[in-house]
């Protein structure tokens, strides 16, 4: 019998390069929400995958904020630094053919690390001329010293096996920390709150998703059903009006989409109620952020 191996991996990168989509693809289930809009991921999301003797523990991190102003954004940046200090390998995700100032900021954060760094060049399915990847890879090789460079597509499941093999080869002999069938350390309450926030992010205009948060007020499980009441917190009364929509239609549509996803992960009938509350300045109020589950003290 092969000895157990365990490796911790931090997934880092600027916002909107596909980090959460990549983690979901690796794990094989949706454990973190996704959207084409930045700032979708705000928390540390743990994804666990055990293949034979090797257990890989991935941590999805928020995209680094270029100019953090609010307490929420500062928390997100501190979280990235905290995670990077506590892993065995760093998985740096960039978008194929796109390297910008925000990517350079991530490089600056990684320059002094002694950890092995794997570069994942995501979204290669969107590159029509694959020969254009070669000069892009050459340019990336000048940025940092990478253990491996792996072109892939999280959305199309291209290159994922090669990535997992490269990570597994770096795993030290160490006892597993989680059961073989565990896929995340997050609670169901957290997961359903994130589902609501995902739907809000996808269905609302560009600015509004950054100004809201979701708190689960009621989570009552019965034999064949679950009652869930979720509070949507916004900064302004005008934002509340947009979320509710004309005759309540927007909130109803968001609730329906969220309920369908909840029933998939809970495998039970879900009775969902959504409420909207105005709380000005919540994203810059550290006490309120703690109440919403942003553990600011742990991530100093």
In this structure, the answer to whether residues 137 and 200 fall within a common structural domain is no
In this structure, the answer to whether residues 149 and 50 fall within a common structural domain is yes
* Torsion sign (Cα): 63, 65, 70, 75: positive
Query: Domain residues for 12?
Result: 5-168
Q: Report whether 164 contacts 120 (CB < 8 A).
A: no
The Cα–Cα gap between 248 and 264 comes to 25
Choose one of 168, 203, 231: the last residue of a domain.
168
In this structure, the answer to whether residues 140 and 246 fall within a common structural domain is no
Q: Three-state secondary structure along 88-118?
A: CEEEEEEECCECCHHHHHHHHHHCCCCCCEE
Give the CA distances from residue 28 to residues 22, 24, 120, 181, 211, in Å, rounded to whole numbers and listed in that order.
10, 6, 18, 12, 30
- Residue 152, in any domain of the structure: yes
One digit per residue, pLDDT tens: the chain, 300 residues? 789 999 999 999 988 899 989 999 999 988 887 655 444 445 577 899 999 999 999 988 765 545 545 555 555 556 556 667 789 999 999 999 999 998 998 899 899 889 999 999 999 999 999 999 999 999 999 999 999 999 999 999 999 999 999 999 999 999 999 999 999 988 899 889 989 988 998 888 665 656 688 999 999 999 999 999 999 999 889 889 999 999 999 999 999 999 999 999 899 999 999 999 998 877 676 666 666 666 545 433
In this structure, the answer to whether residues 266 and 121 fall within a common structural domain is no
In this structure, the answer to whether residues 161 and 24 fall within a common structural domain is yes
What is the domain count for the chain? Answer: 2
What CATH number should be reported for the domain holding residue 220?
Answer: 3.30.300.20
The Cα–Cα gap between 293 and 300 comes to 15
């Amino acid at each position: 019998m092969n000895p157990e191996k365990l490796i911790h991996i931090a997934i880092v990168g600027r916002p909107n390069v596909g980090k959460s989509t990549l983690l979901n693809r690796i794990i094989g289930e949706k454990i973190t929400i996704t959207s084409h809009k930045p700032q979708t991921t705000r928390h540390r999301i743990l994804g666990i995958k055990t293949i034979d003797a090797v257990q890989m523990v991935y941590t999805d991190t928020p995209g680094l904020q270029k100019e953090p102003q609010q307490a929420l954004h500062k928390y997100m940046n501190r979280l990235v630094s905290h995670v990077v200090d506590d892993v065995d390998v760093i998985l740096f995700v960039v978008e194929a053919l796109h390297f910008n100032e925000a990517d350079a900021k991530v490089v600056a954060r990684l320059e002094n690390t002694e950890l092995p760094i794997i570069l994942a060049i995501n979204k290669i399915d969107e590159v029509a001329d694959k020969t254009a990847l070669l000069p892009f890879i050459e340019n990336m090789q000048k940025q940092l010293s990478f253990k491996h460079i792996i072109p892939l597509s999280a959305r199309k499941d291209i290159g994922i096996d090669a990535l997992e093999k490269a990570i597994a080869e770096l795993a030290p002999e160490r006892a597993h920390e989680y059961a073989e069938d565990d896929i995340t350390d997050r609670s169901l309450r957290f997961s359903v709150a994130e589902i609501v926030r995902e739907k809000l992010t996808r269905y609302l205009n560009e600015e509004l998703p950054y100004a809201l948060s979701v708190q689960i007020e009621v989570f009552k499980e019965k034999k064949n059903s679950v009652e869930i009441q979720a509070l949507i917190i916004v900064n302004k009364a005008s934002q509340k009006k947009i979320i509710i929509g004309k005759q309540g239609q927007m909130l109803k549509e968001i609730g329906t989409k969220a309920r369908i996803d909840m029933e998939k992960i809970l495998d039970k009938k879900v009775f969902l109620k959504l409420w909207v509350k105005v709380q000005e300045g919540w994203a810059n109020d550290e006490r309120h952020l703690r109440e919403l589950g942003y553990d600011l003290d742990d991530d100093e």
